[in-house]
Amino acid sequence: MTLVIMAAGLGSRYGGLKQIEPVGRNGEILMEYAVFDALRAGFTRVVCVIKPGHEAGFRGFFEKKIPARIDYAFQPVPEGRAKPWGTGHAVLCCRDAVDGPFCVINADDFYGARPYAACREFLSAGLPDVYCAAGFYAVNTLTGHGTVSRGIMAVDSENNLTAVNELLKLKRENGVITDLETGTVVPDNAFTSMNLWGFTRGFFDGLETLFSEFLAQSGDSQTAEFYLPAAVGELLKRGRARVSVLPADGKWYGVTYRQDKTALANAIAEMTAAGIYPDRLWG
């Protein structure tokens, strides 16, 4: 069971390489908490999807500490663009590095321990073309320092995913969550994708087809992105996938903006004091 960490983003809104900023009291970076939680849940290896040229920095942080196999896949920045093709392409870049069921996460999000355990349990059933996703409540996924991009998930009565609506500028104002780009109002309890997904290897075939279509339509664009939630939603429409949404009632923490780091570090310090995490993750 593999944990795939999407870490090729350039941190444009954050103002630096946020993936390796320390947030723990002993200098731990955010991804270390993700790996720690995943290993506790039964995952056995890690694949980091990174930008070419960042490998030395990641190896320096990870490989002297973490008792798990760590491999790397590379997501380049295409010529003429300022950043990579997006999260869907990031997952496609790790196709040759993944040899079984896998869980995908963002490098700059904190999910807590329970979603990893739920994802692993679901994937252990080995159902072909049946995937899972952690569904966080929208109200728990916002930052007070700007807008965020989120995939809002529609589900049926059994929490099967029916559609994903990617909204790029969500913000809570006057007690209401609104997408500033489209005017869409989002209920506080709407299931929201934080890009914690569970897939089997069969997912790569559909993803590759969709990316080829994306390039044919938007390959010349300097800003268009191939988003993972949107790709999953399209496979649903075509009847090529089923996704079970696993409710996650925890609060999101992350570092979309530099100001988010203080809240994240304080939350981790509180969880460490409560015994949820050891003082030193790796002893």
pLDDT digits (tens, 9 = 90+) for 155-214: 999 999 999 888 989 999 999 999 999 999 999 999 999 989 999 999 999 999 999 999
What is the predicted pLDDT for the residue at 13? 41
Local confidence band at 17 (pLDDT 50, 70, 90 cut-offs): low
In a domain, 103, yes or no: yes
How far apart are the C-alpha atoms of 113 and 35, rounded to whole Å? 10
Residue 120: its H or E element? helix 114-123
pLDDT at 14: 39
In-domain check, residue 282:
no
Q: Is residue 156 a part of any domain in this protein? A: yes
- In this structure, are residues 35 and 250 in contact, taking their beta carbons and an 8 Å threshold? no
| pLDDT attached to residue 35 | 94
- To which H or E segment does residue 261 belong? helix 260-273
Question: 231 and 141 in contact (C-beta within 8 Å)?
Answer: no
**Of 130, 129, 131, 172, nearest in space to 150 by CA:** 172
Distances (CA, A) of 247 to 75, 110, 160: 30, 16, 11
Please give the average per-residue pLDDT across 256-268, as a whole number: 83
251: domain CATH number is 3.90.550.10
Question: Which are the contacts of 244, defined by CB distance < 8 A and separation ≥ 6?
Answer: 122, 130, 131, 132, 133, 159, 160, 161
> Which of 67, 73, 81, 30 is closest to 55 using CA atoms?
73
Taking 60 as the threshold, does the pLDDT of residue 11 lie above it? no
The CB density around residue 220, as the number of other CB atoms within 10 Å, is 8
In a domain, 70, yes or no: yes
The reply to whether 279 falls in a domain is no
pLDDT attached to residue 139: 93
What the block records as the tokens of 24 is 């723990």
**Residue 281 covered by a domain:** no
- What is the pLDDT averaged over residues 224-248? 92
For the chain, how many structural domains are there in total?
1
Which pLDDT band, with edges at 50, 70 and 90, does 109 fall under?
A: confident
Q: Which residue has the higher pLDDT, 265 or 3?
A: 3
Q: Is the pLDDT of residue 258 over 80?
A: no
The rounded distance, in Å, linking the Cα atoms of 255 and 108 is: 6
pLDDT of residue 230: 86
Q: For the chain, give the mean pLDDT.
A: 89
Percent of the chain with pLDDT over 70: 96
- Determine, yes or no, domain membership for 54: yes
Share of the chain above pLDDT 90, in %: 60
278 in a domain, yes or no? no
CA distance 115 to 248: 7
Query: How distant, in Å, are the alpha carbons of 96, 219, 248, 262 from that of 49?
Result: 12, 21, 25, 26
Of the listed ranges 53-67, 95-109, 172-186, 266-280, the one predicted with least confidence: 53-67
User: 186: burial class by Cβ within 10 Å (0-12, 13-18, 19+)?
Assistant: buried
CA distances to 49, 72, 74, 155 from 96, in Å = 12, 10, 11, 32
Tell me what the mean pLDDT of segment 18-36 comes to. Answer: 82
Give the model's confidence band at 12: pLDDT under 50 very low, under 70 low, under 90 confident, else very high: very low
Q: What's the pLDDT score for residue 256? A: 72
DSSP 227: -
- Domain housing 222: 2-273
What's the pLDDT score for residue 20? Answer: 65
**Residues near 78 by Cβ (< 8 Å), separated by ≥ 6?**
84, 85
Checking if the pLDDT of 15 tops 50, the result is no
* Residues whose CB falls within 8 Å of the CB of residue 29, separated by 6 or more in sequence, listed in order: 19, 20, 21, 22, 23, 61
Residue linked to tokens 């969550």: 177
Q: Which residue has the higher pLDDT, 168 or 245?
A: 245
Query: Do 195 and 203 contact (CB within 8 A), yes or no?
Result: no
